[in-house]
Structure 1
Amino acid sequence: MSLIRSSLLVGFGSVASRVLGFVRDVLFAQALGAGPVADAFLAAFRLPNLVRRVVGEGGLNPALVPALSRLEPDEAAATAGDVLGVFGIALLALTGLVEIGAGLIAFLLAPGLRDDGTLALVALYTRLSFPIVLCVTLASIGAALLNMRGRFGATALAPLAVNGGLILTLVAIETGFSLPLVQKASWLAAASSLAGLIQLVIVAAALLQDGPSLVRFRWPRWSPLMKSFLLAGFPVLAASGAVQIFFLAATQIASFWPSGIAWLYYAERVMQLPLGLMAALGSSLLLPELARRYRAGEMQAIAAAQNRALEAALLLSLPAAAALVILARPMSAVLFERGAFESSDAEGTALVLAALSLGLPFATVAKVLSQSLFACGSLRAALMAAIAGLVLTVAGALALAWPLGPTGIALGVSIGCLGHAGAVVVGLHRFGLWQPDRALTVRLMRIAAAVLVMGLGLVAAVRLIPQDGALSLAALCLGGLALYALGAFATGAVSRDDWASLTKNA
């Protein structure tokens, strides 16, 4: 399959999942608003959603793909079955522990929610929604096995089941029933677990089509490879999901502010659209390519591929960040201000979104560059970079939260993303893999010029176009996209050779 076809398929699945997730969150805001029940539900939803986002974006791939790619086909199939069996047993036990200790977990997730039984609601929603973790983690492992065989169809489309199922549940609740907010949230939490089961069934059906050539089930056997994979699993997940962990820490701090959890959640969902796309492309396409280059000893090729991937990531994330900062207020109002979500909530969400968007380019850089560390097996460096980002996130959020509230917490997340990216660069430099070339520098200067053109145009357009509806926002977004495209071609940030290179076979 050509690179363009693989990229388009993975990209389509990722974009479709993000769009459905966006629709889901718009309906969340309409149904639940940004009050205590919304804070309780979104706090409980944060943990399973964190796992779903990390493993769904290929969080286990850095540990699984390089290990299995070094084995003979028969041994790889048997080891793949062992991995699925071990994770299945471990996750069943973990789910049981969560169901028993949901009260303690609720306190850890949102220590600021202590009044009016809100913390008890967090525990209830955690119990109902956590089983999705079992399903999506096993589905993610199965998706990694399919990607190794060039099977991207089921892995790209299966994640749509979760958001699609929640959207159907929301529509049914809003149109067919008149329920209190507490019961609405309960149904949504339970529906998320059911939708995760559907995702697992889709991936399992695709795996069974290849039969024992891809995965062979047996009672799990302990082996040095299995031990190394399990030992690598935690640091890989922590490093792959660094930004999600930053948001988890930020949510704990935001729980001390009324509606702080909800504002942070809705703003994050907007910011995550471009970031999630780059994460999916990096884990599904870039990581396997870098792993092959590393096994062949082609270190210069790794650096070159890394630089080109960095160009592509910033080509998307820099204009996205600028547009989100400029359009934060109209975007929050148009997307979320309806039903139980009030104008004051839209204003608070807009400020948080603008602060988060400052960290988007750095989060994207870290996502792309971490793939090189994963491909080379440098898990310790990737984990230490994630820890550095987490420390800066907590320190920045605590320092800025009291003078600025949830907006300061969001700025703390952006500071953490900056620190994370810087720490990843330091790790690459230690391994001799940070080799930015002249082409990268020139491309970044051209991208910056194109973003400046778009930004100036958007600032002027915001003052001229009334910001009172979806049509105005659509005009601003499309106009900004057109300006950026013209600027990118005029400055040479995008050229005809770039399109031609995409059609080359992988």
Structure 2
Amino acid sequence: MSLIRSSLLVGLGSVASRILGFGRDILFAQVLGAGPVADAFLAAFRLPNLVRRIVGEGGLNPALVPALSRLEPGEAARVAGDVVSVFALGLLALSGLVEIGAGLLAFVLAPGLVDDGGTLALVALYTRLGFPMVLGVTLSSVAAALLNLRGRYGAAAFAPLIVNGGLIAVAVALEAGSTLPLPEKAAWLAAAASLAGLLQLAAMAAALPWGEGRMIAFRVPRPSPLVKSLLLAGFPALVASGAVQLFVLVGTQIASFWPSGVSWLYYADRVMQLPLGLMAAFAASVLLPQLALKHRAGEDEAVVAAQNRALELALFLALPAAAALVVLAWPIASVLFARGAFTQADAAGTARVLACLSLGLPFATVAKVLSQTLFARNHLRATLVAALIGIAVTAAASLLLAPAFGVAGIALGISLGCFAQAGVLVGSLRRLGLWSPDAALAGRAVRIACASTVMGLGLAAAAALVPRADAVVLAALCLGGLVLYGAAARLTGALTRDDIALLAKKA
């Protein structure tokens, strides 16, 4: 399958998941608002949803794909079976520990709620109900990695829709005819998340071939050196793949000291994750397997060339998206979330956070691409170091900026963490001789920046003329911005027919 066709399939699944995610979060805001119950639920939901985002965007692919691609199909199936068995046992044990220690975990997730014992107790309850989702989505991601390795992207791209679809169904039911108090509504949503995660696992299991050409062969797990190396590689791969989510998790801990801070940051992050998640899914599901094959063949020049072209695609998506989110932060927050229990004041706070958070989007997207080259070369330690430095910068910057700017200052700290991570990754690639941006990349980056600036100025002028934004106005602004960016990109040369032909070239 060609690179562009694979990218479109993965992108379609990712966009569909994000659209359902928007619908889910709109209903969350409508049902729960942004008060103490919402903060408790979203703080508890942050951890399983973080795992879901990481593994759903191919977080385990860096550990599994390069190693399994070097094995014969039969041995790869047996090793995959060992990995699934060990993961399943480990996740069951972890779930048991979380159920027992949910109170302590609640304090770690939202230390700012410690003064309100009732709210912190709700965090613990919702953590117990929602954490089993991790078991389903993690094992589903192992199956997705195997399918991606064989060039089969459909099931892996669309199975994650089950979680969001299930949560939407429950939220609609709760909002339509239920008179339950808010704490009980949140409890039903947390339990529904776990059930939906197990349904996703069932769907992925059904998508795997179990007869001739099977991808998983179960046996008594053998602690072979390869399995041990895969499990050891899994942790740094997950940390590196989910770096931005970890930055937001650190920000959430600090935001819990501000009223409604957890909710504002959650909803702003959900909007920002739409373009970032699209690039992450492409990088892990399509780009990484291609880089691994080129590395295996010893084609370093081809690896660098593929990295440069992927950076062009990343910038082509991220720069206009960041500009649009900064300019349209207020109408987006108001139209999407300001209804039911979610007030206009909450929308204003979310808009400020979204604008600051979006400044880090280009750096986060670039880091997604650069990480794949290190993953393909099995330099997981370098990606782990970059993620840890980003976490440290996020924490330090957020603590410094929050007293002056509130939750928006925490969002700025997260953006600085994204910048730091990208910078460390560039340094690592330079030391390995794998950082060589060519003239085509430099020229394209300038043209994309110019086209994004034109679009941003046009959107700002149009938004200033609108007295009050509603769904129709927001849709018109988004469509107009897309058309303007497309025209500017074509006029500046940021997008040409040759580019499309290059992306369509057979991998």
Structure 1-normalised TM-score? 0.99
1:498 corresponds to which residue? 499
Structure 1 residues 429-444: aligned runs within 5 Å: 429-444=430-445
1:374-431 per-position Cα deviation (integer Å, ceiling 9, x unaligned): 0001111111000110110000000001111101000000000000000110111111
Shift of 1:8: 1.5
Aligned equivalents of 1:128, 1:60: Cα separation in 2: 25
1:457 corresponds to which residue? 458
1:371 corresponds to which residue? 372
Instruction: Judge which range, 123-132 or 223-232, deviates more.
Output: 223-232
2:277 corresponds to which residue? 276
2:233 corresponds to which residue? 232
**8 Å contact kept, 1:467–1:473:** no
Q: Secondary structure at the match of 1:63?
A: helix
2:17 corresponds to which residue? 17
2:268 corresponds to which residue? 267
Aligned equivalents of 1:348, 1:358: Cα separation in 2: 16
**8 Å contact kept, 1:328–1:353:** yes
Aligned equivalents of 2:499, 2:280: Cα separation in 1: 21
**8 Å contact kept, 2:392–2:417:** yes
C-alpha spacing 1:152/1:286, structure 2 compared with 1 (3 Å): same
Shift of 1:213: 2.9
Aligned equivalents of 1:211, 1:278: Cα separation in 2: 34
Aligned equivalents of 1:39, 1:213: Cα separation in 2: 44
Aligned equivalents of 1:64, 1:370: Cα separation in 2: 15
**1:123 maps onto 2:124 in alignment:** yes
Shift of 1:501: 2.6
Q: Secondary structure at the match of 1:345?
A: helix
**1:6 maps onto 2:6 in alignment:** yes
Aligned equivalents of 2:147, 2:175: Cα separation in 1: 38
**1:95 maps onto 2:95 in alignment:** yes
1:199-240 per-position Cα deviation (integer Å, ceiling 9, x unaligned): 000100111445563110111111010111111111111111
1:143 corresponds to which residue? 144
Aligned equivalents of 2:212, 2:395: Cα separation in 1: 47
C-alpha spacing 1:312/1:210, structure 2 compared with 1 (3 Å): farther
Structure 2-normalised TM-score? 0.99
Structure 1 residues 176-325: aligned runs within 5 Å: 176-210=177-211, 213-325=214-326
State the superposition RMSD in angstroms: 0.9
**8 Å contact kept, 1:395–1:412:** yes
Aligned equivalents of 1:106, 1:476: Cα separation in 2: 40
Q: Secondary structure at the match of 1:465?
A: coil
Q: For residue 337 of structure 1, what is the amino acid of its counterpart? A: A
Aligned equivalents of 1:466, 1:476: Cα separation in 2: 13
**8 Å contact kept, 1:17–1:160:** yes
Aligned equivalents of 1:126, 1:204: Cα separation in 2: 26
Aligned equivalents of 2:117, 2:296: Cα separation in 1: 58
**8 Å contact kept, 2:102–2:128:** yes
Aligned equivalents of 1:167, 1:491: Cα separation in 2: 42
Aligned equivalents of 2:432, 2:410: Cα separation in 1: 33
Aligned equivalents of 1:401, 1:477: Cα separation in 2: 31
Aligned equivalents of 1:462, 1:10: Cα separation in 2: 32
1:79 corresponds to which residue? 79
Q: Secondary structure at the match of 2:99?
A: helix
Task: Give the share of equivalent positions with the same residue, in percent.
Answer: 69
Q: For residue 118 of structure 1, what is the amino acid of its counterpart? A: T
Aligned equivalents of 1:468, 1:288: Cα separation in 2: 43
Shift of 1:116: 5.0
Shift of 1:9: 1.2
1:106 corresponds to which residue? 106
1:34 corresponds to which residue? 34
Instruction: Judge which range, 70-79 or 36-45, deviates more.
Output: 70-79
Q: For residue 408 of structure 2, what is the amino acid of its counterpart? A: T
Aligned length: 506
1:253-298 per-position Cα deviation (integer Å, ceiling 9, x unaligned): 0000000000000000000100000000000000000001111111
Q: Secondary structure at the match of 2:436?
A: coil
Unaligned runs of 5+ in 2: none
